[in-house]
Amino acid sequence: MRTLAFLLAIVLILNNGCVISPRRTVNSTTGSGGSNSEFSLSASPTSQVITAGSSGTYTISVTAVNGFTGTVSLSASSTSSNIVASLNPTSITGGTGSAVLTVSTTSTTPSGSVTVTVTAADTNNSVSQNVSVTATVQGGASTVGGVISAASATVPTGCISAPAGSTAQRVSFPATPATQGFTATFAATPSSSAMNAALGFFAPASSGQSALSSLISFSPTGVIQVRDGDTFVPSAVPYAAGETYQFRLVENLPATTYSVSVTPPGATEISLGANLQVPSDQRGSTTFTGLGILANAPESATLMVCNFSLQ
């Protein structure tokens, strides 16, 4: 009888589709959290540079899978106690939606990379998923002062921002560069993956006014271009919205040439060009007076440059 009762219990369980399932967790450190049977989780951008004393934002997206319409709770944690990570909103209803992750620093936050992990959980069904982003904290620019142009938008300390359609935004050099040339380093962040924006240097024109000649371009085709003489040359380096690119530019004033390289997020330094000719309107210049950036399109897009340094 006991054997018969046991067999009958097994049959009842199978017929009623009863399944005991442990809690499921999906982890990711790449910015796209993959998906489980209920929802997928992703982040954009996956990394960015934040100047100490300011904040950076990331978009956290939850997408329903298999018709999921439940509520997902969001929480954030970081590997550093020197930053604050917050989410708005802290839950997504209906299965699909997005939240803004804000990573805030103070002026005393040490430089370095911090990992922030966002957890999305459906507690009713014991399902959760993680996605991680990176915040690289850098000190404010000590070599260059504040923004010179009155048209500049409000941006973090040590940064300048050029909204599309505005005039060229500028940071003046703190001192005249050496006549043999200089090395400039800076971080640039485009807000769109199809921008028409460029940056370069101001040189005194014959009229006494400063003339800006662009050397680096974030092109509408989605790649970084560099100027060789009076022509922009496409590179094989693509760019993405919200990602930060570290540039190093070496100018040889007597030879009227320059070399430039870029370090994309999570990658090593890549040469964009060596011994390129400076634009014709700046050949013969013995000095430059400042860094300038200009964004033409698309509407509402911006190009931000931070942590400019001159040697």
- pTM, full prediction: 0.52
Q: What is the DSSP string of 102-128?
A: EEE--TTPPSEEEEEEEEEEETTTTEE
> In which residue are the tokens 């982890």 written?
27
- Going by C-beta distance under 8 Å and a sequence separation of 6 or more, which residues neighbour residue 256? 277, 278, 282, 283, 284
Q: Of the given ranges (16-25, 27-36, 224-233, 287-296), which has the lowest mean pLDDT?
A: 16-25
Task: Name the more confident of 170 and 295.
Answer: 295
CB 266 within 8 A of CB 280: no
CATH number for region 159-310: 2.60.120.200
Exposure of 58 by Cβ count < 10 A (0-12 exposed, 13-18 middle, 19+ buried)? buried
Residue 143's pLDDT is: 34
Give the span between the Cα atoms of 31 and 41, in whole angstroms: 9
What sign does the CA torsion over 292, 167, 154, 42 have? negative
Superfamily of the domain at 24-138:
Immunoglobulins (2.60.40.10)
How is the chain split into domains, by residue range?
Answer: 24-138, 159-310
Record the tokens describing residue 204, joined without a space: 């005194």
Q: Show the CA angle centred on residue 196, arms to residues 176 and 157, nearest 5°.
A: 50
pLDDT in tens, 67-101: 999 999 999 999 988 899 999 999 999 999 999 88
Q: How far is Cα 220 from Cα 85, in angstroms, rounded to an integer?
A: 33
d(CA 88, CA 91): 8
User: Strand, helix or coil at 269?
Assistant: coil
264 preceded by cis ω (within 30°)?
A: no
Of the given ranges (76-90, 150-164, 249-263), which has the lowest mean pLDDT?
150-164
**Do the Cβ atoms of 106 and 93 come closer than 8 Å?**
no
**Least confident range of 71-85, 202-216, 260-274:** 202-216
What percent of the chain is modeled with pLDDT above 90? 32
Q: Would you say residue 4 has pLDDT above 60?
A: no
How far apart are the C-alpha atoms of 75 and 99, rounded to whole Å? 11
pLDDT exceeds 90 at position 207: no
* Per-residue pLDDT reduced to its tens digit, 95-137: 999 998 888 888 788 878 889 999 999 988 888 999 999 887 7
Computed from CA positions of residues 198, 203, 205, 209, in that sequence, does the dihedral angle turn out positive or negative? Answer: positive
Asked if residue 236 lies in contact with residue 268, where contact means CB atoms within 8 angstroms, the answer is no
